[in-house]
Amino acid sequence: MPAGVMIPARNMPSMITGNGSVSGYGTSSGLALGQPNNMMEGQLHPLEMTQNASESEIARMRDEEFDSTNKSGSENHELGGSGDDQDPRPNKKKRYHRHTQHQIQEMEAFFKECPHPDDKQRKELGRELGLEPLQVKFWFQNKRTQMKTQHERHENTQLRTENEKLRADNMRYREALSTASCPNCGGPTAVGQMSFDEHHLRLENSRLREEIDRISAIAAKYVGKPVVNVPLLSSPALPRPFDFGSQPVTEEMYGVGDLLRSISAPSEADKPMIIELAVAAMEELVRMVQMGEPLWMTSLDGTTCMLNEEEYIRTFPSGIGPKPTGFKCEASKETTVVIMNHINLVEILMDVNQWSTVFSGIISKASTLDVLSTGVAGNYNGALQVMTAEFQVLSPLVPTRESYYVRYCKQHAEGTWAVVDVSLDTIRPSPTVRCRRRPSGCIIQEMPNGYSKVTWVEHVEVDDGGVHNLYKQLVSSGHAFGARRWVSTLDRQCERLAGLMASNIPTGDVGVITNQDGRKSMLKLAERMVISFCGGVSASTAHTWTTLSGTGADDVRVMTRKSVDDPGRPPGIVLSAATSFWLPVSPKRVFDFLRDEHSRSEWDILSNGGAVQEMAHIANGRDPGNCVSLLRVNSANSSQSNMLILQESCTDPTASFVIYAPVDIVAMNVVLNGGDPDYVALLPSGFAILPDGMTVTDVGMADSGGSSGSLLTVAFQILVDSVPTAKLSLGSVATVNNLIACTVERIKASLSCDNA
């Protein structure tokens, strides 16, 4: 077995304790899920005292059957194999002997170091003290039971004290409420004298309490007990302007969404199986990372590792079962070095909010349903989480992939960590499952100077029947959801975070923001803008797209949203429109054209032909295309005021984005001075540029002379009415439709001329 592979501890056939709770694996598994289940801990041997025995019974049993571990003169059977010991006659008096003070002291000292001695340790201790191993075994069992009883008695005392304190607080509050007076007149208060805000808050509190009770009842149905403290949906670290969860779901979304809506936290009966599955998945991931040919075959161009399915089945015959009928296998492996230490990387992967933020271009939504283990020693070693996630390509033409899985983190050696995902569909089958995650994840190895080596394995089985023909080649090649997509995104985001923390900013370039607080505020605002854009372009289950015009790839899809009381979005009715199409030029050329402020007037209709000037920028990585810019559109009409545009452009070998949003001049001045960017209203629009998957060379950034094409998604958000309760007019829809169609034609014309 390869070094570092985690296996369950020996002599541990069961993982369910006597009270039904889940016990953990041994120290080799790294799980912090309870103590090993040796001889049903908490239950006594027939020669041990029971917890429920009365004081008189305990005294009688102490005198007749075994030694008491809390007395210096404990008793035990004298074992020597004499036939007299088994004599059934009642007149035959059994022989006993007491443990000496020395024996008790030695066993007490050994118990402090090791309360669970093995057979070898019991024999050695018995030999030193002149006792039989079985006597030593019974003494340790009794001692553990005694300690457990004392611990429970102590906990009961603490809980009783807390209960009395809460009762006293409750009485004090009741008395205070009964004597409450009106702050205006000094008289007794009444509901009718409440302010409107207070009355509204009380009604809202009552509604929320009913919602909690309803969720608790649903949780109790599946888990067996109320689980009001387990969030069924995560709270994103940053606000997501595209939150369409309240809108009805239609068949326009390719029929997906039923899986995640039907999933709840796992039951107690499922947890042992989940743990076993996670342990096996970790072992498989480590072996897949370490193995080369014939399991992994290198592509003809030498850039991609492809899985040999036949060899995989021979090497891992058990797994999570055979591939479902009609599903396709997508498997890839990729290695890179990123500028982030291994501890921070593990934290990002195990925190669902950070994870979904860093990979916002791949993850449309994610949540943690249950945490089976938080890890040990103050870190994520042994952490187990049951999660759901929806993976996306930034185009409404590609259905999202929903997955219900367990994520397991383990430290294999000093500076080496592994994080693995594996689907739980075998435990809770669902007819709506269209994507299964076989063991997938990454091995993270510490490197000098704060760098880390990341080896990523992505292995899924998926029904890709709903993918549009434009994107079939890209998806089937594995570059849309594969390992290279994950590591490229991670590398780019690590560079972005490193740039955010940089303090030695060169001051020679014009427009470079050197104020550290201003840089952080502007980058935080740009990050929220990117997350908002990425969350509203794909065919996510949270969106209800309606097709307006065009046929096939030229369809323009729109959806509406009402924005109310959100400081990060302007109030009113927002109309979103998106379309995807193919261009016969490389992704790099499309990216350079769209991000260049000098060529912006060629496609940006809203700039009205005005000259665009970069006022400030922040570099986000080695590639000059990775940056955040503040642009000013100088209006050609002197009667119109100038407009500011916040833009972030980012590129990696698998995808490129140009995302922008008009911003208020006063608000941006506050941000540049280090103010809070959360109150700047944004409606982001932009472009997602992907390779068409037709080439086997550098699929992401083929040079201008290559034959590769690009898949371009154009997405706009327009505030069509500042009154949220207003009706959406057909004229507004037609205007947005014409705007996006005209933009597409301008881009095609400009790039066709360049290509010619």
Query: Is pLDDT above 60 for 442?
Result: yes
Residues above pLDDT 70, as percent of the chain: 69
Q: Which two tokens stand for residue 141?
A: 């069992």
Least confident of 94-108, 238-252, 489-503: 238-252
Least confident of 212-221, 513-522, 644-653: 212-221
Average pLDDT value for residue range 637-660:
85
Supply the pLDDT for residue 638.
58
What Rg do the C-alpha atoms of the chain give, in angstroms? 33
Q: pLDDT tier at 189 (50, 70, 90 boundaries)?
A: low
Supply the pLDDT for residue 346.
95
Residues 615 and 492 in one domain: no
| H or E element at residue 663 | strand 656-663
Better pLDDT: 399 or 478: 399
Supply the pLDDT for residue 678.
87
Residues 488 and 616 in one domain: no
Q: What residues have CB less than 8 Å from 277, skipping those under 6 apart?
A: 320, 406, 422, 424, 426, 427
Supply the pLDDT for residue 695.
55
Q: What residues have CB less than 8 Å from 754, skipping those under 6 apart?
A: 585, 589, 593
Residue 237: CA count within 13 A, CB half-sphere: 14
Query: Is pLDDT above 90 for 646?
Result: yes
Supply the pLDDT for residue 318.
76
In a domain, 367, yes or no: yes
- Map tokens 């994080």 to a residue: 419
Tell me the range of 47-51, 89-93, 245-249, 705-709 where mean pLDDT is highest. Answer: 705-709
Residues 476 and 542 in one domain: no
Query: Is pLDDT above 70 for 141?
Result: yes
Residue 29: CA count within 13 A, CB half-sphere: 27
- For 253-285, letters b (16+ CB in 10 Å) and e give bbebbebbeebbbbeeebbeebbebbbbbbbbb
In a domain, 524, yes or no: yes
Residues above pLDDT 90, as percent of the chain: 28
How many domains, the chain?
A: 3
Query: Is pLDDT above 80 for 463?
Result: yes
Q: pLDDT tier at 506 (50, 70, 90 boundaries)?
A: low
pTM over 0.75: no
Supply the pLDDT for residue 238.
33
Least confident of 228-242, 445-459, 530-544: 228-242
Query: Is pLDDT above 50 for 41?
Result: no
Q: pLDDT tier at 95 (50, 70, 90 boundaries)?
A: low
Residues 486 and 578 in one domain: no
Better pLDDT: 746 or 96: 746
Residues 476 and 596 in one domain: no
In eight-state DSSP terms, residue 70 is T
Query: Is pLDDT above 80 for 109?
Result: yes
End of a domain among 449, 470, 501?
Answer: 501
Q: pLDDT tier at 181 (50, 70, 90 boundaries)?
A: low
Residues 483 and 618 in one domain: no
Better pLDDT: 243 or 464: 464
Cα 89 from Cα 205, distance rounded (Å): 73
Residues 597 and 743 in one domain: yes
Residues 690 and 554 in one domain: yes
Least confident of 74-83, 351-360, 480-489: 74-83
Query: Is pLDDT above 50 for 61?
Result: no
Supply the pLDDT for residue 261.
52
In a domain, 193, yes or no: no
Supply the pLDDT for residue 552.
45
Supply the pLDDT for residue 621.
85
Average pLDDT value for residue range 202-222:
63
Is residue 257 within 8 A of residue 402, CB to CB? The reply is yes
Average pLDDT value for residue range 636-653:
80
The torsion of the CA quartet 347, 349, 352, 356, rounded to 10 degrees, works out to 120
In a domain, 660, yes or no: yes
In a domain, 244, yes or no: no
Query: In this structure, which long-range contacts are made by residues 19-28, counting pairs with CB atoms below 8 Å and at least 24 apart in sequence?
Result: 20/268, 21/268, 22/268, 22/271, 22/272, 22/275, 22/372, 24/275, 24/373, 25/275, 25/279
Residues 459 and 577 in one domain: no
Task: Provide the CATH number for the domain around residue 120.
Answer: 1.10.10.60
Least confident of 25-34, 206-215, 267-276: 25-34
Average pLDDT value for residue range 483-489:
94
Task: Answer whether the bond into residue 684 is a cis peptide, omega within 30°.
Answer: no
Supply the pLDDT for residue 339.
93
Average pLDDT value for residue range 222-244:
35
Better pLDDT: 632 or 67: 632
Supply the pLDDT for residue 338.
95
Burial class (CB in 10 A: 0-12, 13-18, 19+), 168: exposed
End of a domain among 149, 179, 208?
Answer: 149
Summarize pLDDT for 192-206 with one digit per residue, the tens: 445 556 666 777 777
Q: Mean pLDDT, the chain, as a whole number?
A: 75
Supply the pLDDT for residue 297.
85
Residues 533 and 456 in one domain: no
Task: Provide the CATH number for the domain around residue 573.
Answer: 3.30.530.20
In eight-state DSSP terms, residue 593 is H
Instruction: Please count the other Cβ atoms lying within 10 Å of the Cβ belonging to residue 602.
Output: 17
Average pLDDT value for residue range 730-743:
85
Least confident of 76-85, 348-357, 677-686: 76-85
Query: Is pLDDT above 60 for 18?
Result: no
Residues 589 and 497 in one domain: no
Residues 447 and 530 in one domain: no
Summarize pLDDT for 408-435 with one digit per residue, the tens: 999 999 999 999 999 998 777 666 788 8
End of a domain among 473, 501, 529?
Answer: 501
Summarize pLDDT for 672-722 with one digit per residue, the tens: 888 888 888 889 999 999 998 875 444 344 343 344 799 999 999 888 888
Which spans in 399-552 are helix H? 469-476, 483-501, 516-534
| H or E element at residue 453 | strand 452-462
In a domain, 228, yes or no: no
In a domain, 213, yes or no: no
Query: What is the residue range of 536's domain?
Result: 516-694+707-754
Cα 35 from Cα 38, distance rounded (Å): 9
In a domain, 653, yes or no: yes
Query: Is pLDDT above 80 for 607?
Result: no
Query: Is pLDDT above 90 for 649?
Result: yes
Q: pLDDT tier at 337 (50, 70, 90 boundaries)?
A: very high
Average pLDDT value for residue range 39-58:
41
Q: Are strands 296-298 and 416-423 parallel, antiparallel or unpaired?
A: unpaired
Query: Is pLDDT above 50 for 87?
Result: no
